[in-house]
Amino acid sequence: MASLIILIPLAACAFLSFIWWFKLTLSESWVARISTSAFFLSSLTSFVLLGLQSGTGLLVPLGEWYSLSGYAFHWEGAFDLLSLTLTGLAAFALGLVCHFSKDYLHQERGFLRFYLLTLLLGVGVELVLLAASMDQIFFGWELVGLSSALLIAFFSHRPGPASGGVRAFTTYRLCDIGLLTAVVLIHHSGGEAVFSLQQNPWFQVVPRADQGLNFVLVLLLMLACAGKSALVPFGGWLPRAMEGPTPSSAIFYGALSVHLGPYLMLRCSPLIESTRWGAAVVVAVGLLTALHGAMVGRVQADVKSALAYGSMTQVGLIFVEIGLGWYWLAVLHMIGHASIRTLEILRAPSVLHDYHHIETSLGTVLPRMGLHYERLLPRSWQIWLYRLALERGYSEAVLLNGLKLWRKAVGLLDGVERFVENRIMGLSVPGREKVEALR
Amino acid sequence: MIENAYINIFLYVLAIFPVARSRSLKEARQTAFSVALLSLAISVACLLFEKSGNWWAPFPLMVSIIALTATGLSSLSNTTRRSYAAMLLLSAVSISYLVLPSGWLLGVPWCTAMLLVWFEVRRRSLKKARVFAFYMGGSTLLAFLGLAFSGRPEGLLCLALALGIKEACFPFHSWFPSLVESTPMGVVVTFVTPQVGVFLHLKYLAQHLPQSMHLEVATIGIVTALFGAALASVQTSLKRVLAYLFVSQSGLVAFGLENSSPIGHTGALTAWLVAGLGMAGFAMSIEALTARRGSDPDLREAGRDFESTPALATAFMLCGLALVGLPGTLGFVSEDLLVQGSVQEFPALGLFLIVVTAINAITIMKCLFSVFAGPRCEVGEDLTRRERLALSLVIGTLLLLGMMPELLLRWFA
């Protein structure tokens, strides 16, 4: 029964993929119904298991995938308070979003594709949440990244979404180097990548004896989190990710995808605890992200970008809590933030209408709130900070310059390549072939 | 198992004449496609009934799927009847390495393949044929020298170099991008994606190579992989991206083969199969795309909306991402085994492997989003039934073996 939490959305995803690939017809209402009920069933299973669960948690072996001379990939589920609560809530939120999208995306050309990718996201998220080892987390982590990038580029007839998708995927994949290296390092150092129960009431990574190694692992995992949870300095993709359909933005960047980073850190908190510097890094990155998000979010001109930066701020704070060791607070913060942010993003397209409604009911204009910076800081600082916020803290400019440098260097190499090729072809000057063709 | 190879060779050679003499191009394509389908069915049946076998048992299956994709998706505009016949003969040549005894006789399939492709290139561009002849002539010469001095260290070096050129390893890869640009993709795919160099390397070279050379070959593999990945990331033409991606993949396979740990070695063999199938699917979807758009897509220009060719875009994405370890496909298994197996022996190189797959994944997604994003196009130009069948088989195999890798690993372990 335990594996049903993942198998139900997976079966729905496989079924819809089959329909889609072989161009069979299925009405919109059925597509939505199948997806919604798959998620609700999965959520129900989680909550039933949570109710039945006694004690702290169980590691349930779900079978061996492949094994080879001493190395094996096992499927195991970590069923504890943390994972079951979060899978239940995640599946419930996904079900709600699927139900909401039925009307929102009615008659849209990629209706089925949207549901397919949302189901894929669901499978990926549940895999990460229920994973009992770092290897399994990596499996789900990649699926979430792919479905996220594809959903950002959902409206592929406009240039914005496509470039946003490329940007998100590039960030994800580069930062995932950290996760994969960490997994390999854990195996390489002779340790078990499988979680175990320690002082916290949920399953966690066993820290290594070597403090230096633990610190390196924290750094690598933070790199992975910085990609997925849009931490400083890799958060530039998050506002651009809002180019996707609103329901998917809500569920990805309000609720599930951005919180996978904190979740990974909760599973790996013994590593943070074992080194003081590791904790310092987590707190510092979290704090910087929160400040960055709060500052840049204030100057955004559109509601979805402002909400994206709001998400970033809260996720930064969650990281600070994790770094300080306040795990339960972090869990509650995650759940609370996910719920309210999803609602806000879903409501974002009609925010003006809502404002009008409230103001007409009140009979007065709503007062402006949250003007701390304006009250507390001197005028000269405000102008300077405003500029910094408009430039998104210059973090993007630095990263983009690095990318340009890479392009230039490799472009040079490419030039040498073409020169060699042309020399063998008997063309001494590159481009002469074109001239000859013109003649 | 050997019977399977003989039947397949016989089938392909027999089919050459009706294909070359068919009345129309469509008929040639239909015949070639049917023959590849039949050969696939035979290979699957043989594998199912085979209880014990060695690591090359899945090779005929791989070749037949490649042949099926190549013949099914070649566009009629740049493929001739002779090209279809060449594709079949090239498949027969690839399988013939399995049954031929070692020695001078190996020169026959080697030279046949080179000549077949050379004729195809020459008909389209004399200059590109010169590049091909320059490298492949050198490779053949080195191979013969290697055979002449067999058993001596110089001979081994010559053979290793010959295979390095054939597999487009750095710095002997320059022939490959120009070949991809100028030759019908089906011919290129049937020539390079079975990667017979890997097979020959394992069968004739690996045992004789001194222990000290393993690190060098592995380093060349990783340098090739990194070089290919870097160059693929800055190309502006889709076909050149494909060429450098292949260079990168063949570097990864070469790197993995030098592992002495069984995990890394099995990972390399799995990567070999993934590279063969994934590259064939990826290359042929580019060919199908080129046929629809009229020219090799330029990545700097806007493409067309995803929804105008959804299945083609999906095939492009899945085959491409399978190469870089998409979870759920065989690529994930191969990447996992390769990384876990190699990190013990070559820790620093293992890290580069992770970087290479990341760069390649980004390149593939960048191509996807620039080719399949753009103004809406209402004209349906998605995959035809034949194309869909061929790509379904490629993707289905990658997914099935990705879900149940034990089916494959029992051959490789």
pLDDT tens for A155-183 read: 988 888 999 999 999 999 999 999 999 99
What type of residue is A43? Answer: S
* A163, A170, A425 member nearest B127 (Cβ): A425
How far, CA to CA in Å, does A416 sit from each of A238, A423, B174, B228, B365? Answer: 37, 11, 11, 14, 26
Q: What is the pLDDT of residue A439?
A: 57
* A149 with B333: Cβ contact below 8 A: no
Cα B303 off chain centre by: 26
* B231 with A417: Cβ contact below 8 A: yes
Q: What is the pLDDT of residue A128?
A: 95
Whether residue A430 is predicted with pLDDT greater than 60 in this model: the reply is: no
Name beta bridge partners: A75.
Answer: A63
Rounded to a whole number of angstroms, the distance from the CA of B103 to the nearest CA of chain A is: 32
Mean pLDDT (chain A, rounded): 90
Q: Is A63 on the interface with B (CB under 8 A)?
A: no
Q: What is the pLDDT of residue A319?
A: 97
What is the band of B238 on the pLDDT scale with cuts at 50, 70, 90? very high
Name beta bridge partners: A66.
Answer: A73
CB atoms within 10 A of CB B109: 20
Q: Tens of pLDDT along B313-364?
A: 999 999 999 999 999 999 999 999 998 888 878 888 888 999 999 999 999 9
Rounded to a whole number of angstroms, the distance from the CA of A303 to the nearest CA of chain B is: 25
Whether residue A435 is predicted with pLDDT greater than 90 in this model: the reply is: no
Q: How far apart are CA B74 and CA A123, in angstroms?
A: 36
**pTM, rounded to two decimals:** 0.94
What type of residue is B227? Answer: F
Higher pLDDT, B181 or A435: B181
Nearest to B345 by CA among A184, A40, A229, A140: A184
Q: How far apart are CA A249 and CA B215, in angstroms?
A: 47
Name beta bridge partners: A61.
Answer: A76
What is the band of B84 on the pLDDT scale with cuts at 50, 70, 90? very high
Whether residue A437 is predicted with pLDDT greater than 90 in this model: the reply is: no
C-alpha dihedral (A355, A358, A361, A363), degrees to nearest 10: -60
Whether residue B230 is predicted with pLDDT greater than 60 in this model: the reply is: yes
* B307 with A66: Cβ contact below 8 A: no
Give the DSSP per-residue string, A123-162: HHHHHHHHBSBHHHHHHHHHHHHHHHHHHHT-STTSHHHH
Q: What is the pLDDT of residue B279?
A: 95
- Structure-token pair, residue B276: 């063969």
Whether residue B312 is predicted with pLDDT greater than 70 in this model: the reply is: yes
How wide is the angle at C-alpha B195 spanned by C-alphas B189 and B201, nearest 5°? 165
Residue of A nearest to B384 (CA): A22
Q: Rounded mean pLDDT of A41-62?
A: 88
Q: Which 3 state secondary structure label does DSSP give A62?
A: strand
Mean pLDDT (chain B, rounded): 89
* A157 with B305: Cβ contact below 8 A: yes
Q: Rounded mean pLDDT of B272-280?
A: 94
What type of residue is A412? Answer: L
Q: How far apart are CA A141 and CA A257, in angstroms?
A: 9
Contact A133, A193 (CB under 8 A): yes
Q: How far apart are CA B217 and CA B300, in angstroms?
A: 36
Give the DSSP per-residue string, A294-308: HHHHHT-SSHHHHHH
How wide is the angle at C-alpha A417 spanned by C-alphas A415 and A418, nearest 5°? 70
- B409: which chain A residues are within 8 Å (Cβ-Cβ)? 66, 68
Q: What is the pLDDT of residue B159?
A: 87
Whether residue A190 is predicted with pLDDT greater than 80 in this model: the reply is: no
* B306 with A421: Cβ contact below 8 A: no
| Chain A / chain B CB contacts < 8 angstroms | 140
Q: Looking at chain A from residue 283 to 302, which residues have their Cβ under 8 Å from any Cβ of chain B? A: none
Sign, CA dihedral B174-B62-A65-A87, equals positive
Whether residue B103 is predicted with pLDDT greater than 80 in this model: the reply is: no
Q: What is the pLDDT of residue A421?
A: 82
Q: Is A187 on the interface with B (CB under 8 A)?
A: yes
The position carrying tokens 């190694």 is: A213
Q: Tens of pLDDT along B33-75?
A: 999 999 999 999 888 887 666 788 888 899 999 999 999 999 8
Whether residue A19 is predicted with pLDDT greater than 70 in this model: the reply is: yes
What is the band of B262 on the pLDDT scale with cuts at 50, 70, 90? confident
- How many residues belong to chain B? 413
Name beta bridge partners: B298.
Answer: B237
- A163: which chain B residues are within 8 Å (Cβ-Cβ)? 369
Q: Is A243 on the interface with B (CB under 8 A)?
A: no
Q: Rounded mean pLDDT of A142-152?
A: 95
Whether residue B136 is predicted with pLDDT greater than 80 in this model: the reply is: yes
Whether residue A350 is predicted with pLDDT greater than 80 in this model: the reply is: yes
* A69, A176, A424 member nearest B263 (Cβ): A69
Give me the percent of chain A exceeding a pLDDT of 70. 97
Whether residue B195 is predicted with pLDDT greater than 60 in this model: the reply is: yes
Q: Is A192 on the interface with B (CB under 8 A)?
A: no
Q: What is the maximal distance between C-alpha atoms in chain A?
A: 83
Whether residue B154 is predicted with pLDDT greater than 70 in this model: the reply is: yes
* A149, A159, A410 member nearest B234 (Cβ): A410
Q: What is the pLDDT of residue B147?
A: 85
Whether residue B18 is predicted with pLDDT greater than 60 in this model: the reply is: yes
Q: What is the pLDDT of residue A203?
A: 87
Choose the weakest-confidence range: A260-269, A373-382, B82-91, B178-187: A373-382
Q: What is the pLDDT of residue A436?
A: 58
